Amino acid sequence: MDRRQDLLILRLDLEQGAYLEPIHIPREGPDGFNAPDLFISYKAEDSIYVFPALKDHFYLYNSFGEILKEYSYNSRDFSRFYISGFYSDIFYRNGEMILPTINDTRYDDQDYFEKVIPFQKYELVEQRFSDSIEYPKSLIGKFLPSNLTGGQISNYDNETAIINFPFSDSLYLYKYEDKSIVTFYCGIETGHKNNFYDHVPDRAESIEYLTKEKNYEFSKVHNGKVYRLVSHLKDENARELPLFDIINQNLRGVTMIEFDPKDSSINYYEMPIARNFVFQDDRLIVGGISIREDENQDTFRKFYVYQLK
């Protein structure tokens, strides 16, 4: 976002090490997204899907910041794209997309994980949700800090979506044609499995959970391998320390898990604290959390480029 809260999509030529002309999408006006927050799915230069927060519709933009089409969710329970607290991809296939979704069910509802659908198929032509993917049955009647209840989805292959829940050391493969789901382990061995609450966690419990427990943030597939990013305590002994010490001493770290489906082998790589990562050819681009502000009060985040071997 720039100082006017318009969206700037910054395009970087890695070979030249220089920024190209940014794509500017206004917040206000006839082509504005008119929301305090948003998510984008960049399919191509003139195919940019923008999902404004708390809206009952989303947009297709071109590279000139012009709205090409508006899509209504047309959901009975006001289901919409889930933006809060994490980043996701979108699974596209045959004029449909599978989106992470949320509705207005109260978080303290004991049936939250039955009433909220984490993923739904959306038909672009009919402009409606047509099918859904539910939470694992093990969550029924349980509670988690609210910003860990969502999920993240990406392409495993053209027929299969890979689903990542931040609270689970397993990944879920959803077959598009027969709607079947299989799981496989893709976690880190240190420490214990994440616990669930049998009551709504208060603020103190939520902060402690987010500070001490694992958060499986992303999963993506590249060159036949699955990559998963998890933030966690660097040393499980730190679990006994006060929360202030854990935060102040930066005792949480980030690990990238590399899983090879061919032989089920797993490798682990220490990473900087990150918020997103993408693959491009033989490179891994990791978005960090360090922020700088220029003379125009525009903010920029540091990122890292790794060579894959």
Q: What is the CA radius of gyration of the chain?
A: 20
pLDDT digits (tens, 9 = 90+) for 184-212: 999 998 767 788 999 999 999 999 999 99
Burial 271-294 (b: 16+ CB within 10 A, else e): beebbbbebeeeebebebeeeeee
Is residue 275 predicted with pLDDT exceeding 80? no
- What value does the mean pLDDT of the chain take? 89
Cα 204 off chain centre by: 25
Tell me the CB-side half-sphere exposure of residue 137, using CA atoms within 13 A.
Answer: 1
Element (H, E) at 221: strand 215-222
- Lowest-pLDDT range, 90-94, 115-119, 211-215? 90-94
Residue 248, exposed/middle/buried by CB under 10 A (0-12, 13-18, 19+)?
exposed
CA distances from 258 to 160, 174, 273 (A): 19, 20, 17
pTM > 0.85: yes or no: yes
Q: What is the mean pLDDT of residues 73-79?
A: 93
Q: What is the DSSP string of 64-78?
A: TS-EEEEEE---TT-
How many other β-carbons are positioned within 10 Å of the β-carbon of residue 160? 17
Plot region of 288 (φ>0 → left; ψ -120 to 50 → alpha; else → beta):
beta
